[in-house]
Amino acid sequence: MAIATELGRRVELVSMDPHFHDISIGIYRQERESGPGYLVHTYSQKPRALERIEFVIQAMATLGGMQQEGPRLRFTCGDPHQLTVRRIFIEACKLKPDAKVEPRPLNILDKKSNLNITVFGVGSGVYEFRSEAGGEDAASRVSAIAGGLAKLAEMTRVSSTHEQVAFACKHAHDAAVGTMLIRALNVRAILREEEMAASRGVLTAPSAQK
Amino acid sequence: MAEITDISNDFIRQEIEEYIERPEERERNINLFARARPKMQEIAAALIDGDNDTVNRLTREALDSGIEALEVMDDGLIAGMGIVGIKFRQNFIFVPEVLACARAMKAGMAHIEPILSAAGIEPVGKVIMGTVKGDLHDIGKNLCIMMLRGSGFEVIDLGVDTAPDRFIEAVEEHDALLLGMSALLSTTMPNMGKTIEAFIDADLRDKVKIMVGGAPVTQEFADDMGADGYGKDALACVATAKKLLGVVAKTRA
Amino acid sequence: MGTGAKSAGQMTSRQRVMAALRREPVDRTPVCNPTSVATVELMDLADAPFPEACREPESMARLAATGYTELGFDTIMPVYTIIQESSALGCKIQWEQKDNWPTVKMREPIWEKPEDIKIPSNLLTHSDTKCVLDAIRILRKEFGDEVAIIGKTMGPWSLGYHCFGVEQFLLMSLDDPGKTKLCLEKLKEATVQFGLAQIEAGADALTLPDHATGDLVSAEYYERYLRDLHIEFVERIPAPLILHICGRTVDRMDYIAQTGMAAFHYDSKNEPAESMGVVRSRISLVGNINNPETLFSKGPEQVRKEVYKNLDAGVQLVGPECAIPLQTAIENLKEIPLAVRDWHREHATTN
């Protein structure tokens, strides 16, 4: 009889957990009446594999600000935030079993611009990015990082601003934002879009045109 | 603007007429070969024909006659490879023929590289190149490396099946500003993303530009992985490398 | 489905597969994997990780069986890799780890010219080829006649890549066709020996990968170098042969259909209807669900669409286009037999 059960739709897989005998750990999205939830699962039957799974679940609860319900996790806002969950899962699996897990701060040093970037929750799921420096270059970089987070976390830019992005659920997710901030510094697609937007309507010499 | 009849070499004229369909590519190649010396056109023709012995001989003769190494490289070898790339893209020729042309280019470059090195010409940039972990294909990567070296880049070739840590070590060891990753298998493409992630984790992402390429790779995939650039073939690889390093194309005096 | 189709559930998986390979009536289209459907999660489930599952017969058999017991395929194919016989010929192998494929170190080729080729007397007793034979015996004993067991023997073109290096072999094919043909003549004996041994061990059919793909070489190359050899394999190996060539191949399918092989395992770069139009019932088609974009990256809905596209075109056996990425999700693989079942139900009620 088949052992593989219906677990939902797999969202992400860590194919070899370096901290526990190279087991494969998957995270599955399950649709429930109370809203979407996520199950962390391994097919491994190795002794203490379930303890490792439990660690990952708890780490995700901390890093993502998620609510743990037995083997499942969800955001209390009820929205799936699937890309965010995927990222939090990957980060949680990177942690050693004896690691102390704490929420990550809402500020970071951006080496590209040498700016300290701080993120403020301003309510209704809106987050504002600020740097200590002023000027066009700083503003441009802050805008790019905000855009990077928006792409990573399925947020939208708040219209008429360059430094505010918002969750559609209109709820705060500070822990998740803190966890994803480092990735937001290097989201190439956002930079490409901004380069293209900046060049629209600008006359270029024939040799510089594609 | 030059006409095709301005090209003195019959073989080159036929190649352009028969195999180059896109108007902008035809125009570019006509202009390029029309202004190239007959001797350079001969070298290009021999390269397109995969005749490494003739390329070897003609390159040597051209250099001995006093023609600048850069001119021989640009107007003979690289110009010839340009047509090879177009024919390959359009499935007029396949990998065996491309390999033969690459072999011919290598024969020519064997005479040119020492001259460029001795002249103390600064490389336009330093590039680390490798095929990603789990992938043992390197034909495309090797073509890119040849074109990059031909365009003045210093290239450190990590070979195939390159783990993320190895890419990181090489970037640090050689102080390279550019990394190129190749994947020929769709199943190994995700390792590009893993490598980029490893650079982020090692706090090195901002120190290096990363470009990707290979048959299954697309611009969309490159963007999703967080790469800085994508090249769909060896010629595009060189253009991408130059763009990422902000290199202005060298012109001969 | 053709006339004379049987009612659903009348045939065993094995009967279904063997009939489809002969283009005879079936109760439903079989789900077939001429290439690996191993995944890291199935490795955990069976406690049979790579590389051990490629080198140790019980492990190999245990993992392979999950294709039938867990995924619901009609075949079991235990030869995950393409390197078993190359290892026996003396190639250096990089065995890798659980989530990576073992590969031949083609940058360290073992031969340069036809005279170097030697098929060793221990080809079939080398640990890596013997592992395959033992695994087939284990599976035959465990499953009897219930399910079709498919072995795999590499064709001479692919062996040429492994033993000479890809670039060197391709350059040889251009520089010296006579020499290349001589290499293929010598290498083909490994193909035949290993194939016969697997049939003797209990395999019902054999996958025969021979990578003269359109991504590398022209259709004319296939005709010049391989078609006649493939005809010879059909004559010498008394079991259905499933030729596998990756990439664009519709331009050479007419030649392939001339070989007499039972089936051609074809890639998603070729359209099902167009491919069926070229082969015109001279050979069964197996395939062609896309691996990187569909099975690996998308969900069951897209898998279902591709299954349906193949069935609508009349493809005789449905399955992934090639060895699946090791990180493929189980639900995507399980969707294949579910989609086949549903397609047949829908078409039964509309008849």
Mean pLDDT of A83-108: 94
Name the CATH topology of B125-244: Rossmann fold (3.40.50)
Does residue A60 lie in a domain region?
A: yes
CB C212 within 8 A of CB C221: yes
Asked if A70 and A130 sit in the same domain, the reply is no
Asked if A76 and A136 sit in the same domain, the reply is no
Residue B248 has pLDDT above 50, yes or no: no
Tell me if B206 and A112 make a contact (CB, 8 A cut-off): yes
Does residue A100 lie in a domain region?
A: no
Q: What residue has token string 């789900």? A: C31
Asked if A121 and A89 sit in the same domain, the reply is no
CB C180 within 8 A of CB C172: yes
| Partner A contacted by C184 (CB < 8 A) | no
Mean pLDDT of C22-35: 97
| Partner A contacted by C98 (CB < 8 A) | yes
Amino acid A155: pLDDT = 95
% of residues, chain C, pLDDT over 70? 97
Name the CATH topology of B9-118: 1.10.1240
Asked if A79 and A43 sit in the same domain, the reply is yes
Distance CA B1, CA B29 (A): 11
Amino acid B252: pLDDT = 29
Give partners of B (≥3 CB pairs < 8 A). A, C
Task: Establish whether domains B9-118 and B125-244 are of one fold.
Answer: no
Residue B183 has pLDDT above 90, yes or no: no
Smallest Cα distance from C311 to chain A, Å: 25
Residues of B with CB below 8 A from A182's CB?
Answer: 200
Amino acid C3: pLDDT = 39
**Greater confidence, B46 or B186?**
B46
Amino acid B220: pLDDT = 81
Taking the mean position of all CA atoms in its chain, how far away is CA B69?
17
Identify the structural domains of chain C with CATH numbers, from first to last: 13-350 (3.20.20.210)
Closest CA to C151 of C31, C268, C244, C87: C244
pLDDT tens column, C69-96: 999 999 999 999 999 999 999 999 989 8
Structure tokens at A7: 């677990």
Asked if A146 and A178 sit in the same domain, the reply is yes
Mean pLDDT of B30-50: 96
Mean pLDDT of B103-130: 88
Segments making up each domain of chain B, as ranges: 9-118, 125-244
Q: What is the helix (H) or strand (E) element at residue B159, kind and residue range? A: none
- From B201, B203, B223, residue closest to A189, measured CB to CB: B223
Amino acid B238: pLDDT = 87
Q: What residue has token string 């073989």? A: B11
Tell me if B222 and A192 make a contact (CB, 8 A cut-off): no
Asked if A167 and A111 sit in the same domain, the reply is yes
Amino acid A193: pLDDT = 61
Average pLDDT over all residues of chain C: 94
Please count the structural domains in chain A: 2
pLDDT tens column, C274-293: 999 999 999 999 999 998 88
Smallest Cα distance from A43 to chain C, Å: 5
Most confident of B140-144, B234-238, C339-343: C339-343
Domain residue limits at A142: 107-199
3-class secondary structure per residue, C67-128 = HHHCCCCCEECCCCCCCHHHHHHCCCEECCCCCCCCEECCCCCCCCCHHHCCCCCCCCCCHH
Of the residues A93, A121, A154, which one is the last residue of a structural domain? A93
Residue B145 has pLDDT above 70, yes or no: yes
A167 beta partners: none
- What pTM does this model have? 0.89
Amino acid B113: pLDDT = 85
Distance CA B248, CA B58 (A): 29
Q: For A181-195, C118-132, C137-151, which range has the lowest pLDDT when averaged over its residues?
A: A181-195
Of the residues A58, A93, A128, which one is the last residue of a structural domain? A93
Complex ipTM: 0.90
Residues of A with CB below 8 A from B188's CB?
Answer: none
Of the residues A63, A93, A123, which one is the last residue of a structural domain? A93
Residue C139 has pLDDT above 90, yes or no: yes
Does residue A1 lie in a domain region?
A: no
Asked if A84 and A121 sit in the same domain, the reply is no
Residue C105 has pLDDT above 90, yes or no: no
DSSP codes, A147-185: HHHHHHHT-EEPTT-SSEEE-TT----HHHHHHHHHHHT
Does residue A208 lie in a domain region?
A: no
Mean pLDDT of C57-77: 98
